[in-house]
Amino acid sequence: MDITGKVQSISKKKGSFAFDVLIKDETLKVVSKTEIPELKKGERVAITNLTKKRSFLSSYLEMTEESLITLHPHIRFNPSEIDYANYCKYAPFILKLTGNSRFDDGVMERDFYNTIRGIEPKDPKMTELSDKFIKDIKAKFSFREFEISKKFGIFMKNTLYFSRFPAVFSGNEIRAKFQAIENKLDKYLVINKDSGKLDEFNMTFEEKKSLLNLRNEMVQLYYEKMSDEMLDKECTETCPLFNTCKRIRKYPRDFDVFSTYFSSFLKKDHYFRKKYIKIIREGENPERKSLEIHAVEIHPYSILAKISSNEPSIRKGEDILIIEKPPLDRKIFGKVQNISFEEISCESNVPAANPELVTPLESYEFNYNGIVELIFSQSPLKELFIKNGTIQESVIPQEKYIENDEDQNRAVNLIMSESPFVLVKGEAGSGKKFIAKKAVDKFIQKGRNTLIVTDLRKKEFEKYFSGAENLIKVMDLKDAYRNKEKYDNLFLFLTGTLEPDNIISLAGNCKKIVVFTNNLKEKFYNEEKVPESLKAMLHSQHRFGKHILHFVATLLSDVMKEKEDSEVKIINKDNASPAFLPIINPEKYVQFISISGKVMGKKNKWNKEEGDLTVNIVTEFIKSGVERSAIGIIVPFERQKALLEKLLEEKKITDVDVFEPNEAEEKEVIIINLVENNEIKSPFKKADNLKMVLTRARSKLILVGNKNPAKKDKNLNKVIKK
């Protein structure tokens, strides 16, 4: 008999081990005559092959020689992670933390199966191999997209079977062994990828037990601190982490810091691992739910489907789970290739037959390669970010880089100084990108490279900092943590806050950090340790004129020195329809156009009337001679963006950009759709987001939406009252 439950109490008597396990509402006593893994009260366990025994007073369960015990079976690892635990229990996690992991997913087995089933192969070499098998043999292969073992805490993708036995390609034996454990088998098969020969292997019970013990050691790490024993461990150079660990163990004080970050990494890993398995098991994302699709075209590895809404806000490039209709009910892994207002196209890992739902997977991958680098480096940045020490003052050059703004000129001089850390604070429109560009150009002349990292609007930054490709690169913040390349300078543009793990990881791969933030009041991590002489504050507005500044002033963290308004250039006013002249009037810098359209969707909403009016306004601007590239539309929901792109395309307007808040670029004319008509629940509810979208306009800002919810919203009301 097999059981799964929670450990209640543990005792050890005369060489035998006894513990109580709570299963639902019943407590069962389990006795083992042989050594068991160290158990703790409250821990969840799964035990197989128990026999029922009866003593004089009560009955109990006895572990047999064939019993396997799994700690916390609800936490699933994949076999190749456990394979790395052969080096030691830390190895799989340090591999992930430092971004060195290459865990196998069974891609060869999947492609092989699809080929022998006559589906166009992803890997043409598979055809050659498939031809070596006769028809009757081919028919004996079967395949599963994944298996989740409840008893042994294992998650396996792309499992192949020959008859009832696990089959893998050489090199993937570890997965075959876990398939055998899950299916209570002692045999597995290995396919030779050149000859196609199938070799049979036997597995002993001891081998199964030791594999599960490796897994148990790994899972215990989630519940305990990294142990000092690692400092004395004698490791062999065959371990892929030998050099990394050598550095980790070198200085006990640094080791302590490393173990703190290692624990915070484990916490996140634990959380996301559980969430990921929940989505796969239930076929639905608990927060975002699933998207209903109606397939119109299915090719072996791609699906084109109609959609009527996109409530989970699924985006292009996202990893997904495709769920098929009953009776198939299969779940297939895939990726979104494209999504528009009416259609979605997806790539599937195996051919789908009757897809019905698409669920966002939210694959997690976070590694902090730079943490190891910084902890064990001699960089002055380590002093500030890890030891909470101060940064030394630096000699500041006094060059004239910028003529008309003293604050900006001082900022460039600070950046060009020898200081390893500089903080530049300035509200939206104060010229942070402009300053950065001046400094980057100077560094390029000196042959020093710069990595620009931004938490928003990567495309805009790419356009702005284009050129000198080998000396400048732009990256999204989420990709930058994983970056392993070294740079002389890191220019970090932030609209939000950063966790210590993140800043440390970034600091590990550069010599100098310049942080640009748009909130003068909010403190940056350890800001008090940075001397005032290394901080630059920008107080002048350079992007938009006084009318827009006056409109957004309540959202800004600084009273800014204003600049004159600049009018959008209307060349052929007479071409515009008379009804739209008041709207396109360049002397009206800020306008609110009230419209009460119907709101569709629950979380990812759209409003066709606002969309139609916006497209009409765009058309009138274009008719009156405004460049298409000078106009930008910002909307709060993905669905409204897809709708606007469709409406613009119908009018053959292809080069007017529609942005969601996190991608919004600066333009001469910005038109914003509010979409909602009852209460603002969109990203615009957050003051930071609202500030960001309202400050994208250089000359003219038009808000299109229902005034009632805008009046009820604390932040919007503050600005529209002006």
Question: Do residues 615 and 647 touch, judged by C-beta distance below 8 A?
Answer: yes
Q: Which residue's CB is nearer to ligand SF4, number 80 or number 359?
A: 80
Instruction: State the minimum distance, in angstroms, from the CB of residue 91 to ligand SF4.
Output: 4
Q: Which residue's CB is nearer to ligand SF4, number 154 or number 230?
A: 230
Tell me how crowded residue 252 is: count the other CB atoms within 10 A of its CB: 9
Q: Which residue's CB is nearer to ligand SF4, number 189 or number 245?
A: 245
Instruction: State the minimum distance, in angstroms, from the CB of residue 366 to ligand SF4.
Output: 19
> What are the E-state strand segments in 340-419?
343-348, 355-360
Question: What is the token pair recorded at 365?
Answer: 């991958």
Return the half-sphere exposure (C-beta side, CA atoms, 13 A cut-off) of residue 438: 18
> What are the E-state strand segments in 204-273?
none
Q: Which residue's CB is nearer to ligand SF4, number 22 or number 235?
A: 235
Instruction: State the minimum distance, in angstroms, from the CB of residue 372 to ligand SF4.
Output: 12
Characterize the bridge pairing of strands 59-63 and 631-634: unpaired
Name the residue with tokens 């590694």. 367
Sheet containing strand 510-517, edge to edge, reads 472-476, 450-454, 487-494, 510-517, 421-426, 535-538
Name the residue with tokens 């979409």. 675
The C-alpha atoms of residue 712 and residue 196 are separated, in whole angstroms, by 70
Residue 464, phi then psi, degrees to nearest 5 = -65, -40
Instruction: State the minimum distance, in angstroms, from the CB of residue 88 to ligand SF4.
Output: 3
Instruction: State the minimum distance, in angstroms, from the CB of residue 156 to ligand SF4.
Output: 23
Instruction: State the minimum distance, in angstroms, from the CB of residue 168 to ligand SF4.
Output: 25
Instruction: State the minimum distance, in angstroms, from the CB of residue 136 to ligand SF4.
Output: 46
The C-alpha atoms of residue 57 and residue 39 are separated, in whole angstroms, by 26
Q: Which residue's CB is nearer to ligand SF4, number 205 or number 242?
A: 242
Q: Which residue's CB is nearer to ligand SF4, number 199 or number 224?
A: 224
Q: Which residue's CB is nearer to ligand SF4, number 84 or number 659?
A: 84
Please tell me what DSSP assigns to residue 450: E
Q: Which residue's CB is nearer to ligand SF4, number 249 or number 639?
A: 249
Q: Which residue's CB is nearer to ligand SF4, number 372 or number 381?
A: 372
Instruction: State the minimum distance, in angstroms, from the CB of residue 618 to ligand SF4.
Output: 58
> What are the E-state strand segments in 544-608?
590-594, 599-600, 606-607
The C-alpha atoms of residue 494 and residue 555 are separated, in whole angstroms, by 17
Please tell me what DSSP assigns to residue 68: -
Phi-psi region of 379 (alpha: psi -120 to 50; beta: other; left: phi over 0): beta
Instruction: State the minimum distance, in angstroms, from the CB of residue 509 to ligand SF4.
Output: 21
**CB-count burial class (<10 Å; 0-12, 13-18, 19+) for 381:** buried
DSSP secondary structure string for all residues of 132-155: TS-HHHHTTEEEEEEEEETTTTEE
Phi-psi region of 198 (alpha: psi -120 to 50; beta: other; left: phi over 0): beta
Instruction: State the minimum distance, in angstroms, from the CB of residue 254 to ligand SF4.
Output: 15
Q: Which residue's CB is nearer to ligand SF4, number 215 or number 691?
A: 215
Instruction: State the minimum distance, in angstroms, from the CB of residue 237 to ligand SF4.
Output: 9
Q: Which residue's CB is nearer to ligand SF4, number 260 or number 526?
A: 260
Crossing angle, helix 406-416 and helix 432-445, to 10 degrees? 40
Question: What is the token pair recorded at 433?
Answer: 């990108």
The C-alpha atoms of residue 291 and residue 717 are separated, in whole angstroms, by 34
Please tell me what DSSP assigns to residue 349: S
Tell me how crowded residue 383 is: count the other CB atoms within 10 A of its CB: 17
Instruction: State the minimum distance, in angstroms, from the CB of residue 86 to ligand SF4.
Output: 9
Instruction: State the minimum distance, in angstroms, from the CB of residue 231 to ligand SF4.
Output: 10
Crossing angle, helix 205-220 and helix 173-182, to 10 degrees? 100
Chain residues binding ligand SF4 by CB under 6 A are 87-88, 90-91, 94, 230, 233, 235, 239, 241-242, 245
**Which residues, including other chains, have CB under 8 Å from residue 94's CB and lie 6 or more apart?**
241, 244, 245, 248, 262
The C-alpha atoms of residue 101 and residue 325 are separated, in whole angstroms, by 35
Instruction: State the minimum distance, in angstroms, from the CB of residue 238 to ligand SF4.
Output: 9
Question: What is the token pair recorded at 468?
Answer: 């000198």
- The residues with which 701 forms a beta bridge, in sequence order, are 590, 670
Q: Which residue's CB is nearer to ligand SF4, number 237 or number 528?
A: 237
Q: Which residue's CB is nearer to ligand SF4, number 223 or number 242?
A: 242
Q: Which residue's CB is nearer to ligand SF4, number 90 or number 421?
A: 90
